[in-house]
Structure 1
Amino acid sequence: MATFRNGINGGFTGKVGSVVGYPLNGQWVMRGLPKKSVKNKKGTADQKACRSGFNKMQDFLRPLIPFVRVGYNLESKLRMMTAHNAAKSYNMLYAQEANGDIDCSKVCLTYGSLIGVENPTVLTDDVGFHFSWTNNAGNVWPRATDQVMVMAYNVKDQRIYGKLSGARRRDCMETIEIDSSEKGNEFHIWISFISDDRQKIAMSSYVGCVIV
């Protein structure tokens, strides 16, 4: 059963026959329900490979959803899709091998045209991760106040440590504290910048893989 919003001429939510209505990015949209066949249920070799790759990327991004919601927010509005789907679409295209394996060095967690990080480094100690970078703001005042976004991802155990709005670009350093139980674990590291007014964001940079 579907429910009308704003009367008979408005959008509707729910299922009507083979059509589902729902709001998406401020607009009312409809989609038809997929028709299942015996062939589609079993799947061809190519279909199975595609589904496997899709599931692997879905699992990879699941802990990162709060981060990519910010990282792909601007791009998702341009493409009229959710930030999660925009991140999944990009990374399946550019960071996933034919066999479905994910190359973390090619993964992008934030997408935009803002000037990115320069000379990023990360060090570890008993406290956690210590990030540093070069202040490439020059004499442009707004860029000096951009805030750093950092992410450390224990892919094996699917645990993350990050900041969505950390130190300023001009500060050239940031720290993430991590739990002592992570000692000996492997983390993949990304860093990016977002403008103070949240209207611009940089492409994330992969810093590397480190062991605590």
Structure 2
Amino acid sequence: MAKLKKGIMGPLSGKIGPVVGSSWRGVDYIRSAPIIKDPMYGKSEKQIAHQQKFKFMTRFLEPFHPYVAIGFYKPNLQNIELNVAFSYNFEEALLGINPDFEIDYSKFSISRGIQSGLTDLEFSWVSASEVLLTWKNESGYHARYDDQVMLAIYAPAIHAVTGSVIAAQRRDGRISYTLPDKFVDKVLEVYVGVVTSIRKKSSNSQYLGRKEFL
């Protein structure tokens, strides 16, 4: 660092080329400008592609966090639900090459586990703002009447999810859900997952397909 004496043009202030002029406690000085390193500098094309792929999946998962935190819960492994959900969907549902990544919605999951899913699950529109899901009410091995049903409805156009982590119980046999205004008239990707009432076991989530009110 070098001190500056005021000349005819006064003290130097701001950045000029590789130096920065400033003042501290009445003393004017110059110093070298910080070198801003490109975060991609020195990385191979493969490393850059992997990093961008990682960022893409991280961002995609964000609105699903409340669901995957339950659907990928592991009783003996605390606080890793998001990591498990990320790893599964990174390997199974992420397609494309840098920079054109995309999600295979049919392979994406909000839950994974041994609990039974819903039988004869069907989706229908009641109106442009209301959807109805129905299923066969049955219980048995890995299927309890009080299992909780999660409903996640994703709108790609606004990168947002609506629904509920406790939309119904297995014994209810149906869910009637009113869409928030910003989801109306949007193309939707619909998922259902089942978890036990104490949320220690979950089912493999079920994808109901791409839905659009016509």
TM-score interval w.r.t. the shorter chain?
A: 0.7 to 0.9
Query: What SS does the aligned partner of 1:120 have?
Result: strand
1:88 and 1:80 mapped to 2: Cα distance?
15
TM-score, length of structure 1 as denominator length: 0.73
Report what 1:122 is aligned to.
Answer: 123
1:141 and 1:43 mapped to 2: Cα distance?
48
Deviation track 1:90-146 (CA, whole Å, cap 9, x = no partner) reads 0001111242321011001112111112222111214422111122414x6971111
Query: What SS does the aligned partner of 2:51 have?
Result: helix
1:141 and 1:194 mapped to 2: Cα distance?
10
Report what 1:19 is aligned to.
Answer: none
Question: Which residue type is aligned with residue 64 of structure 1?
Answer: F
Within 5 Å, which residues of 2 pair with 1:62-211?
62-74=62-74, 77-78=75-76, 82-99=80-97, 100-124=101-125, 125-138=127-140, 143-211=144-212
1:47 and 1:104 mapped to 2: Cα distance?
26
Q: Number of aligned residue pairs: give it.
A: 173
Query: What SS does the aligned partner of 1:93 have?
Result: helix
Question: Which residue type is aligned with residue 198 of structure 2?
Answer: D
Structure 2 gaps of 5+ residues are 1-36
- Shift, 1:67, TM fit: 1.3
Contact 1:130–1:175 (CA under 8 A) maintained in structure 2 = yes
1:83 and 1:175 mapped to 2: Cα distance?
28
Query: What SS does the aligned partner of 1:133 have?
Result: strand
Contact 2:132–2:175 (CA under 8 A) maintained in structure 1 = yes
Return the structure number with greater helix share. Answer: 1
Farther-moved stretch of structure 1 (122-131 vs 183-192) = 122-131
Farther-moved stretch of structure 1 (77-86 vs 122-131) = 77-86
Query: What SS does the aligned partner of 2:189 have?
Result: strand
> Could you tell me the percent identity over the aligned residues?
24
Contact 1:95–1:107 (CA under 8 A) maintained in structure 2 = yes
Q: Could you say what the CA RMSD is over the residues aligned between the two structures, in angstroms?
A: 2.4
Structure 1 gaps of 5+ residues are 1-36
Contact 2:116–2:142 (CA under 8 A) maintained in structure 1 = no
2:73 and 2:110 mapped to 1: Cα distance?
11
2:183 and 2:143 mapped to 1: Cα distance?
37
Quickly say closer, same or farther: Cα 1:39–1:191, change in 2 above 3 A: closer
* Larger CA Rg, structure 1 vs 2: 2
